[in-house]
Amino acid sequence: MLPIYLAAATAIATTIGGLFALHMRDRLHLVLGFTAGAVIGVAFFDLIPESFDLAGNAYGMNHVSLFIALGFLIYLVIDRTITLHSHETEEGHTHSHGRGHFGAGSLSAHSMLDGLGIGLALKVSPAVGAVVALAVLAHDFSDGINTVSMVIKNGGTKKKALRWLAVDALTPSLGILIAYFITVSDTTLGLLLALFSGFFLYIGASDLVPESHHNHPKKLTTIMTVLGAATLYLIINVAAF
C-alpha cells in the first residue's frame, strides 16, 4: 500500500501547486519570476549535485558536465526551431504553443524520473523509499507551479494548462510503476539527471527570466526570482535531513 500512498501524495502536491499558479494568473509576471528561480534552483541545488553523486565516480566530472552542457544546447536548438512557429500578441509578448508544450513535457519527464527514484528506493526498503518520497514531495508543489506557468506564459489556455498539470501530477506514479519492471543503474540515472539539469537551466535563464521582466517592474520580479531559488534551496536541504 505504501507505493499507492506515495503516488497519491505526489499527485496531490503537484496539483495544489498548479492550481495556485492558475489562481495567480493576474499576477503571472510574479509567478514567472518565482518559477524562474525555482527551475534554476532545482538544477543547481538538486539535479546537478545528484548527477555528480550518482555518475561522477564512474564517468568523472568532465563527462557529467558534458551532459549538462548537452542538455542546455539540445534544448536551445529545439527551442530555436520551435520559435519559428511563434506569434506575437498585441501586448508585445511572443508566444509559442510548441515551446510551452515542450517545456511542460520536460518538467513532466523530470517528475517521472522522481517517481522512478521513489520506486527504486522502495526496492531497497520502505524506509528508504519514504525518505526519497519526502524529498520529492518537497518540490512537487513547485513542479506544479512551473508546469502551469510554462503553458500559460506561452499562450496556452487554462484547459491546456490543466491537462499538462494532470500529466505532471500522474507521471511520478508512472515512474514508481516502471521501477518495478526495470533496473536502472545509478550512473545512467545520474547522466539523465545531468541532461535534465541542462534543460532546466535553459528554461529558467533563457525563457522564464526574460518573460517575467517583460513590461513589468524588474525590481519586484527579480526579488521573486531570488526568492524562488532560495525557497528551493531551503526545501532541498531540509528534505535532505
Going residue by residue through the chain, which has 241 residues, state the pLDDT in tens, using 9 for 90 and above: 778 888 888 899 889 888 887 887 777 778 778 878 888 888 898 889 888 998 988 898 999 999 999 989 987 887 677 544 444 444 444 455 567 787 788 788 878 877 887 887 787 567 656 756 766 776 677 778 878 888 887 778 888 889 999 999 999 899 889 988 887 788 888 888 888 888 888 878 876 677 666 656 678 888 988 998 998 888 777 765 5
Per-residue confidence (pLDDT) for residue 183, from 0 to 100 = 79
Per-residue confidence (pLDDT) for residue 232, from 0 to 100 = 83
> Per-residue pLDDT tens for 200-235?
888 788 766 776 666 566 788 889 889 989 988 887
C-alpha cell at 124: 531497497
> Which domain does 107 fall in, by range?
2-240
Q: What is the residue-wise DSSP string for the chain? A: -HHHHHHHHHHHHHHHHHHHHHHTGGGHHHHHHHHHHHHHHHIIIIIHHHHHHHHHHHH-HHHHHHHHHHHHHHHHHHHHHHHTT-EE-TTS-EE-HHHHHHHHHHHHHHHHHHHHHHHHHHHH-HHHHHHHHHHHHHHHHHHHHHHHHHHHHTT--HHHHHHHHHHHHHHHHHHHHHHTT----HHHHHHHHHHHHHHHHHIIIIIIHHHHHTTS-HHHHHHHHHHHHHHHHHHHHHHH-
Per-residue confidence (pLDDT) for residue 234, from 0 to 100 = 86
Q: How many domains does the chain have?
A: 1
CA separation for the pair 213, 210 (Å, rounded)? 5
pTM of the model: 0.66
